[in-house]
Structure 1
C-alpha cells in the first residue's frame, strides 16, 4: 500500500508545473483599453529609447514621442514579433515579453489612443 501511495504521490508531483506569475499572465489577453501614455511609452522607454533617440544607433528613426511611435507601429510590430536570431528582431540583443507584445497589438487594435 505504501508503494502505491508513493508512486501516486510521485506522479502527482511530476505532473505539476512550476510557473511564475509573469509566465502565467503572458497568456492572458489584454482586456482593458491600451494607451500610449499609460502602456506603450513605459515599454518604449525601458527597451527602445536607448537606440531610438538622439545619439542612438537608430536615431534616424526616433521613437521619443507619441506621433513617432504611432507612425511606425506596423514596423515596430513586425520587428518585435520576429524570431530570436533574426537580425531585424527588436530590441537588439533581447526580446519583449509576450505580454508586452500583446500590449502593442492591442494598442493598434484600440485605434492607437494617446491617453
Structure 2
C-alpha cells in the first residue's frame, strides 16, 4: 500500500511540473503601465539595434538613433522583430528579441508612441 501511495504521489508531482522559463511565465502577465520611448523602448533599441542602425553600421542608411527615427519606422521594426527564426529578414541579425521585448515595442505603438 505504501508503495502504491508513493508511486501515485511521484506521478502527480511529475505531471504537475512544467519546464518553463521565467520569461515565458512573465509574458502571461499583461503590461498595464503606459509604455514610453525613453523609459521602455529606447533601451531595447540601444541594446539590440544601434550597432547596425547608426552611422558607420551595416544599416546606417536607416538610422534608429532618435525617437523620431524609431517612431517613423515602428511598423517595419515590429514586422522584422516578429518574424520567425530562420527568416532572412528577421532582426536583429543573428539574434532575437525576447517575447517580452516585442510586447513592449508593440504596446508602445498601441499606447500612442509616447516619447516620455
Shorter-chain TM-score: what band? over 0.9
For residues 73 and 20 of structure 1, the distance between their equivalents in structure 2, rounded to whole angstroms, comes to: 28
Ranges in structure 1 where 5+ consecutive residues have no aligned partner:
none
Ranges in structure 2 where 5+ consecutive residues have no aligned partner:
none
Provide, for residues 39-75 of structure 1, a one-character-per-residue CA deviation record: whole Å limited to 9, x for no partner: 0000001111101011111111000010000000000
Contact 1:82–1:88 (Cα < 8 Å) also in 2: yes
TM-score by length of structure 2 reads 0.93
Aligned to 1:76: 77
Aligned to 2:28: 27
RMSD between aligned alpha carbons?
1.1
* Between 101-110 and 19-28, the greater mean CA deviation after superposition: 19-28
Residue correspondences, number = 115
* Between 73-82 and 21-30, the greater mean CA deviation after superposition: 21-30
